[in-house]
Amino acid sequence: MTSSESTLGPKAAEFVNRSHRLYTGGAFVPAADGRTFPTYDPSTGRRITDVPYAGPADVDAAVSAARSALDGAWGSLPALVRSRMLTRLAELIEENAAELAEIEALDGGKPVSVNEVMDVPAAIEHFRYYSGWPTKIEGETIPVHLPDTLCYTRKEPVGVCAQIIPFNYPLMMAAWKVAPALAAGCTVVLKPAEQTPLSALRLAELIEEAGFPPGTVNIVTGDAGTGRALVDHEGVAKIAFTGSTAVGREIAARAGTGLKRVTLELGGKNPNIVLADADVEAAVAGAFNGVYFNSGQSCIAASRLYVHRSLFEEVVGRLAEAADKARVGPALDRATQFGPLVSAEQYDRVRGYLLDGLEAGASLRAGEVPPASPQGGYYVRPALFTGATPGMRITREEIFGPVLVAAPFDEVDEVVEYSNDTPYGLAAGVWTRSLGLAHTLAARLQAGMVYLNSWASGDPGAPFGGVKASGIGREMGRTNLDAYLETKTVWTSLGS
Ligand code: NAD
Ligand code: MG
C-alpha cells in the first residue's frame, strides 16, 4: 500500500484493492485477451492498481450490448421510469460521495476537499437535472399546407453513443456525458482516460445498483487505441468527446467518414480582461482561481490575463504574492490547495513550457521550473509569466498546467484584438464596473462562454462549450439533450 492509499477511508481502500473489470452488457468482465494496464497516483508517482485494457473485441461486445439494450429493455421503458433511474443514480452517487471523492483524489491528484465540494456534487446535480428531462421530450404538430394531412415530429434517441473523456474531471465528465444521453433514451459506451479510470469503474457499480437494464451503460477502460476502436465501430451513431484539440480533429475526421454525429469539447487559451475600472480585489481573486484551479488542468483555465496598464503592476504583484503562498501538495492531504499534475507526461510537458517561456525571453514573477525528475509526485508550483510577446508559444498554446501569462494593454480595441488572436474560442472574462462595456465586450469576444465579473460559473442547465478550435456543439442544458436526439417527421393522409 502506498502512503496515499493508507490515508483512504475503508470503503475507498476496499474498492481500490479489489480486482477491476470492464462493465459490458450488465456484467463485470476482464478484457477478452486478459490484458491490463496500470493506473498511477500522481501524488506519489506510484502504481495504484491495474485495470483491464479493452481491445477491439471488448469494444465490440460493449457496442453490441448497447444496441441490444436500445432495441430491448432500455428502449421500451416509459420515460417516467428512465427518469426515476437517473434520480436513483444521483442518490447513489450522493450516498457514496465521500468514497468517490477519495478515489478521484488518489487516481487523478485533485485535492479531496475539492472533489467533495465541486466534482462529486456537480456529478450528482447533473444526473438530477437530466432526470427531469425524459418526461419532457416532445415532438411538434406542423401546420402544413396540404389539406387533410397530419404532419408531426417525433424526437427519437440517436442510437448507441461512444463517449470519450479526459483525466481532468473524471467523474464529472462521465456525468456530463452519460446523463443527457440516457435522458434522451440513448445507450452508451463510456471510455474514461487511461490516467484516471477508477471513478468510472466505481460509477459502473452504482449504475448496476440503480437497476439500469444490462447494456444501457457500458464502461471500457483503455487508451487511445480503445478510443479509436470505439470511434470507428460501425454500431456507433454518435460520438461525444472531451480532450485535446489534436485528438478532437482526428475524431471529427473519422466521424465524418462514418457520417456519425459528433460533439467535441476541446482546448482553450482563454483571455481574462481586467479593465481600468475593475474591482481589483475581485479581479485578482477571479484571475487566481480562474487559472490555477485544478493546477491549471482545465479547458476553461483563465491562462491569458490582460490588465489595463494603470493596474498592471498592482494586479500582477498581488497574484504573484498569492501564488507564492499556494499550498501545493498531495491530493489526500486536507491542507492541500493545489494537487500534482496528473502524470509524468503532463509534468514534462508543463516543465517544457516553463523552460520555453524563459528561453524566449519572458520572466517568471512567481513559480519556478520544477526539477527534471519529479520528487515523489508531479508537483508544479503556480507560475506567472510577464514580458511574453503575442507570438510566443506560452502565449499561444494550451499549457494545461498552473501557468499564467499576464500582459498590459492600453485601449479596449487593442485588448479585444489580443483576446481573439487565437485559434481557440472557449471562455473569456471581463472585469469592469461598466455595464455597457461589459456587455459590449461579451458580444465582441470570440468564445462559447463569457464570464462578467466572475470566472467558471456553471449550472447543469447552462450551455457549456466553445467556438473555433475549442469544439463543436454544447454540453449541459437542453442544447445537449438535442445532441442526443434525432427528429423524425411523420406525414399522414387523413383522406379516406
Ligand atoms: P487526449 O485528447 O489525448 O485524451 C483524451 C481522451 O481521449 C482520453 O480518454 C484518451 O484515451 C482518448 N484518446 C486519445 N487519443 C485518441 C484517439 N486518437 N481516438 C480516440 N480517443 C483518443 O488528451 P490528453 O493526452 O489526456 O491530454 C493532452 C492535452 O490535451 C493536455 O495537455 C491538454 O492540453 C489537452 N486536454 C484538454 C482537455 C479539455 O478539457 N479541453 C482535457 C484533457 C486534455
Ligand atoms: Mg491515475
Q: Residue 477: enclosing H or E segment and its boundaries? A: helix 477-483
Q: Record the pTM.
A: 0.98
Decide: 271 in ligand 1 pocket, CB within 6 A: no
CB of 224 closer than 6 angstroms to any ligand 1 atom: yes
One of 5, 99, 125, 265 is an active-site residue; which one?
265
- Which amino acid appears at position 236 of this protein? V
Mean pLDDT, rounded, for 345-362: 98
Taking CA atoms only, the protein residue closest to ligand 1 atom 8 is 193
pLDDT at 471 (0 to 100): 98
- 280-319 exposure pattern, b = at least 16 Cβ within 10 A, e = fewer: eeebbebbbebbbbbbbbbbbbbbbbbbbeebbeebbebb
In this prediction, residues 212-241 reach a mean pLDDT of 98
Q: Is the CB of 450 under 6 A from ligand 1?
A: no
Distance 310 CA to ligand 1 centre (A): 39
Nearest-CA residue for ligand 1 atom 29 is 244
CA 442 to chain centroid:
23
Task: Pick the catalytic residue from 299, 321, 359, 417.
Answer: 299
**Residue located nearest, by CA, to atom 28 of ligand 1:** 244
Segment 250-263 mean pLDDT? 97
Going from the Cα of 246 to the center of ligand 2, the distance in angstroms, rounded, reads 22
Ligand closest to CA 103 = 2
- pLDDT score for 4: 67
pLDDT at 2 over 80: no
Residue 370 is placed in which grid cell? 520544477
Q: What angle do CA 402, 119, 245 make, to 5 degrees?
A: 55
321 counts as catalytic: no
Tens-digit pLDDT profile for residues 12-69: 999 999 999 999 999 999 999 999 999 999 999 999 999 999 999 999 999 999 999 9
- Catalytic residue at 299? yes
CB of 306 sitting under 6 A from ligand 1? no
Mean predicted confidence (pLDDT) in 316-320: 98
Q: How confident is the model at residue 496 (pLDDT cuts 50, 70, 90)?
A: low
- The percent of residues above 70 in pLDDT, for the chain, comes to 99
- Answer for the pair 242, 165: CB distance below 8 angstroms, yes or no: yes
What is the structure's pLDDT at 1?
Answer: 42
